Amino acid sequence: MPKKILVILGHPAQQRESFCEALAKTYCAAARKAGHEVEFINLSSLKFDAVLHEGFRGPQPLEADIIEARQKIKHADHLVFVYPLWLMMIPALLKGFLERAFTNDFAFQPKAKNPLGVGLLRGKSARLVQTMGMPAFIYRLYFRSSGARAFKSLLSFCGIGPVSVTYFGRIDDTHPTKLNGYLKKISDLGLSGL
């Protein structure tokens, strides 16, 4: 059954095409080929203040690009975030986007009857596609997927689930044949809408 899929590219590169961008575009093309409805957001092309200046306690009007992104998130059945692992975390641009877009009036309702809050984005699934310089098995075993686990926790708190993760390691020094294998894997995920 066709899905409504939103692919969000969280790599901040503006002067070049990153491997994350190649992965995101490959996923989009495959998903469209399979008949899924696909929207694409490249965070580096949006105009918004990525700093939540007053935390969640002061007013900070939403920019037009954040409002439009929220509409696309609401419309989607499945969210795909493609980003690099930097300093064991997601890039600052992606974190800023989440802080501005996934606020308590849109993604969750704090202090409801449930002390953990209530996720307002229930009924959606997600996939995290994370690239990194280290081998993926080292990240999973030694570092226990710390950055991806935190991201999954945020999405779960907002009601999104299940959340799957795909890791692509050793991006900087991997042979082109292996990178092509990564693109094939992401294409297969796009075809299946996963």
Q: Does an H or E element contain 5, and which?
A: strand 4-9
- Average pLDDT value for residue range 61-78: 98
Percent of the chain with pLDDT over 90: 86
Give pTM, 2 decimals.
0.95
Round to whole Å and give the CA distance between 145 and 136.
Answer: 9
pLDDT of residue 104: 85
Closest residue by Cα to residue 161 from 79, 39, 69, 98: 79
Greatest distance between any 2 Cα atoms in the chain: 52
- Residue the block writes with tokens 């689930």: 161
Give the pLDDT confidence of 133-151 residue by residue, as tens digits.
999 999 999 899 999 999 9
Architecture (CATH level 2) of domain 4-192: 3-Layer(aba) Sandwich (3.40)
Round to whole Å and give the CA distance between 90 and 76.
Answer: 22
When the pLDDT of each residue in the chain is averaged and rounded to a whole number, the result is 94
Find which of 35-39, 108-112, 172-176 is predicted with most confidence, using mean pLDDT: 35-39
pLDDT of residue 65: 98
Number of H helices, E strands in the chain: 6, 7
pLDDT of residue 1: 86
- Average pLDDT value for residue range 112-129: 86
Percent of the chain with pLDDT over 70: 96
Q: Which of 15-21's residues contact partners 24+ apart within 8 Å by CB, and which partners?
A: 18/84, 19/131, 19/168, 19/171, 19/179, 19/182, 20/82, 20/83, 20/84, 20/129, 20/131, 21/82
Closest residue by Cα to residue 28 from 17, 16, 41: 41
Question: What is residue 163's DSSP assignment?
Answer: E
pLDDT category, 27, cuts 50, 70, 90?
very high
pLDDT of residue 116: 66
